[in-house]
Chain A
């Protein structure tokens, strides 16, 4: 079974609209972390936001927020007021406790977001 599932291969959104990128995860650990990374066409991986499994509040970073629903094992990324520069691939990733954080991240296959003017 996939550990990270991103069900939207591609999305088109009008500029200034809010957009939600879906991510579901599978783990038996009680302690884990969820990340979102942005990969523009230039190829670098840019960290956006982090949510720990014990965090009671949803994480927010500027225009990015993470809608964390633990019982549903869902960690959706919400981008408010989208901009043309938000066009990129977006990856959801998970760190599980089993390796004490050292084992590396497990990534989903990504969502290609295109913002239209």
Chain B
């Protein structure tokens, strides 16, 4: 199993550009999440999904959109990139049947907006 994969690993965007961060998991997890981590800080939840077709906002959703058409994929869309979106983005997944709902994280995407 590859676990949670994210592409790209790094990206530089100009202000106002758009892009999609890709996330896929092969563990058949029903829950998926997007977090951002700003320098020197913990992770903050952007969006989450409890299954295909169902998404909801987390703590910091402004400037982002998500979709979940399959169990495996959970892309994050940035529209009109701003310098405040410079961050490291982590995708994670978990299984609702586990006791702890332990989240498995992808390797992250480092995004710079200039």
| Residues of B in contact, count (CB < 8 Å) | 28
Task: Tell me the B5-63 residues at the A interface (CB within 8 Å).
Answer: 31, 33, 35, 40-45, 48, 50, 58-59
Q: Indicate which residue in B59, B90, B96, B110 contacts A102 across the interface (CB closer than 8 Å).
A: B96
Please indicate the chain A residues that have their CB under 8 angstroms from the CB of B102 in the complex. Answer: 35, 47, 50
CA distance A52 to B101 in the complex (A): 10
CA distance A108 to B88 in the complex (A): 16
Report the minimum CB–CB distance from B100 to chain A (whole Å). 4
Are B96 and A101 touching (Cβ within 8 A)? yes
Please indicate the chain B residues that have their CB under 8 angstroms from the CB of A43 in the complex. Answer: 88, 107-108, 110
Task: Tell me the A27-54 residues at the B interface (CB within 8 Å).
Answer: 33, 35, 37, 43-45, 47, 50, 52
CA distance A93 to B102 in the complex (A): 11
Q: Residue B105 at the A interface, CB < 8 A?
A: yes
Q: Residue A100 at the B interface, CB < 8 A?
A: yes
Closest to A95 in B: B101
CA distance A11 to B15 in the complex (A): 38
CA distance A74 to B22 in the complex (A): 36
Q: Indicate which residue in B43, B59, B88, B104 contacts A91 across the interface (CB closer than 8 Å).
A: B43
Are B31 and A109 touching (Cβ within 8 A)? no
CA distance A23 to B105 in the complex (A): 21
Q: Residue A56 at the B interface, CB < 8 A?
A: no
CA distance A76 to B110 in the complex (A): 30
Are B108 and A44 touching (Cβ within 8 A)? yes
Are A50 and B42 touching (Cβ within 8 A)? no
Are A108 and B42 touching (Cβ within 8 A)? yes
